[in-house]
Amino acid sequence: MLEALKAEVCEQNHELPANGLVVGSGGNVSGRDPETGLVVIKPSGVKFSKLTPEKMVVVDLEGTVIEGEMKPSVDTGIHLYIYRHRSDVFGITHTHSPYASSFAARGARIPAVTTPITHMLGRDVPCSRYATPGEVDTGAAIIEAAAGGWAVLVKAHGVFTMGKSATQATSIAMYLEEAAMTTHLALLHGPVDELPQSEIDRCYNWFNKNYGQAGQKQVKE
pLDDT of residue 220: 34
Say yes or no to pLDDT of 129 above 80.
yes
pLDDT of residue 208: 86
In a domain, 219, yes or no: no
Say yes or no to pLDDT of 219 above 80.
no
* Residue 201 φ/ψ, nearest 5 degrees: -60, -40
In a domain, 214, yes or no: no
When divided into structural domains, the chain yields a total of: 1
Give first-to-last CA distance, the chain, whole Å. 34
Say yes or no to pLDDT of 164 above 70.
yes
Give the 3-state secondary structure of residue 59: strand
pLDDT, mean of residues 119-142 = 93
C-beta of residue 116 within 8 angstroms of C-beta of residue 175: yes
28, containing H or E segment: strand 28-32
pLDDT of residue 198: 94
State pTM to two decimals: 0.93
Chain centroid, CA 129 distance in Å: 18
pLDDT of residue 214: 55
In a domain, 216, yes or no: no
Say yes or no to pLDDT of 138 above 50.
yes
In a domain, 155, yes or no: yes
Pairing label, strands 57-59, 91-95: unpaired
What is the average pLDDT score of the chain? Answer: 93
pLDDT of residue 133: 81
CA angle 90, 121, 42 (to 5 degrees): 35
Calpha distance 94→25 (Å, rounded): 12
pLDDT of residue 215: 46
Domain range spanning residue 203?
Answer: 2-208
In a domain, 221, yes or no: no
DSSP conformational letter for 47: -
In a domain, 220, yes or no: no
Tell me the pLDDT tens digit for each residue of 2-19.
999 999 999 999 999 999
Tell me the pLDDT tens digit for each residue of 66-122.
999 999 999 999 999 999 999 999 999 999 999 999 999 999 999 999 998 899 999
CATH of the domain at 104: 3.40.225.10
C-beta of residue 73 within 8 angstroms of C-beta of residue 40: no
Which residue, 132, 127, 110, 93, is CA-closest to 185?
A: 110
In a domain, 120, yes or no: yes
C-beta of residue 14 within 8 angstroms of C-beta of residue 166: no
